[in-house]
Amino acid sequence: MFAYRHRQLADDLAAQARARSVCPDSLTIAVTGSGGLIGTALTALLTTSGHRVIRLVRRAPRDSWERQWRPEEPAPTLLSGVDALIHLAGASIGGRFTPDRKREIRQSRIIPTRRLAELAAAAAQQTPGLRAFVTASAIGFYGPDRGEEILTETSARGEGFLADVVADWEDATAPAAAAGIRTVQVRTGIVQTPRGGMLRLLSPLFEAGLGGRLGSGKQWLAWIGLDDLLDIYLRAVTDPGLSGPVNAVAPEPVRNIDYTRTLASVLHRPALLPVPAFGPRLLLGAEGAAELAQASQYVRAEALIGAGHHFRQPHLEQALRHVFGRS
């Protein structure tokens, strides 16, 4: 535990030092989705970095650090005195893609993002104006299966429900960009943390010795450690040289079979029980299984690598050992 905390603190301080080298100012940063898994950890990192964080919440504010946000009709003064906005809010994409679920996924992203972008554009006319508008996005932009194609930020969008949603989601930031605000769309890969997402579902199975590859195991998995994702958001909000879509993935994608072998090794368990391809379809439906569980995307963090970005855990085994506390 002490070794973990020492490593975590040292990495946090190093990330904060790198951020201060490009932005020595203390910023006032508004954050939506601050109560979620990523939002909770990110607001802590921003606060300890010396920035003032204002949480945009849908309920009545409890203190001066919160402001009430109505997603479809935000108050004109919502971003008053704010230097940067990080927009994380959106319905989870997990589960079956029923018509109602798909409608919720779209509506929770497109309209609120456009309303915030319009509000940011208006706030940019104030003195001092809004400096940065950072929004969550996803590698679903590239579609569920592009074969062996290497996907970078300049690659064409793919096909499918999530590709359509992400493309419209990113387009919704246009009013902010047109107003001259630096906009960043963080296209997030599969986040590695046992507290949520895919790893939260897989780890109990692997701990019980019931894990294994999915189908053929040849699918590419573009992953990212939680701490590395937080560092990317910190850089996106502070680095004036970063703009546009940014692939938030580790430098080394892995195939599903290598991912499962590595996870099993870290947990000291076998990975002998492959999951048949029809398994995810029973839980997620055909469309959900194809877009989520069976997706294969070889995504490269070209923008971050080109900018000399430092990754805390660039290798999968290193990242999994860190989050599970295994030396």
Is the backbone of residue 56 left (phi > 0), alpha (psi -120 to 50) or beta?
Answer: beta
Assess if residue 282 is contained within a domain.
no
99's tokens: 């018509």
Res 127 pLDDT > 70: no
Which CATH number goes with the domain that contains 29? 3.40.50.720
CA-CA distances (angstroms) from residue 209 to 215, 229, 282? Answer: 18, 29, 22
Assess if residue 134 is contained within a domain.
yes
State yes or no: cis peptide before 74, omega within 30 of 0.
Answer: no
Assess if residue 199 is contained within a domain.
no
Q: Across residues 58-64, what is the average pLDDT?
A: 93
Assess if residue 208 is contained within a domain.
no
Instruction: Give the number of domains in the chain.
Output: 1
Q: pLDDT per residue over 296-312, tens digit each?
A: 999 999 999 999 999 99
Res 78 pLDDT > 80: yes
Q: pLDDT per residue over 133-186, tens digit each?
A: 999 999 999 999 988 999 999 999 999 999 999 999 999 999 999 999 999 999
Res 285 pLDDT > 90: no
Assess if residue 132 is contained within a domain.
yes
Q: What percent of the chain has pLDDT over 90?
A: 78
Assess if residue 206 is contained within a domain.
no
Strands 220-221 and 254-255: antiparallel
Rounded Cα–Cα distance for residues 157 and 179 (Å)? 25
Average pLDDT score, the chain: 93
Residue 281 confidence class, pLDDT cut points 50, 70, 90: confident
Q: Which domain holds residue 106?
A: 2-192+225-250+300-316
Residue carrying the six token digits 């932009």: 141
Rounded Cα–Cα distance for residues 106 and 99 (Å)? 11
The CB-based long-range contact list for 207-211 (8 Å cut-off, 24+ gap) reads 207/267, 207/269, 208/269, 209/269, 209/270, 209/272, 210/273, 211/260, 211/263, 211/264, 211/269, 211/271, 211/273
Say what the pTM is: 0.95
Assess if residue 60 is contained within a domain.
yes
Assess if residue 102 is contained within a domain.
yes
Helix (H, G, I), strand (E, B) or coil at 12: helix
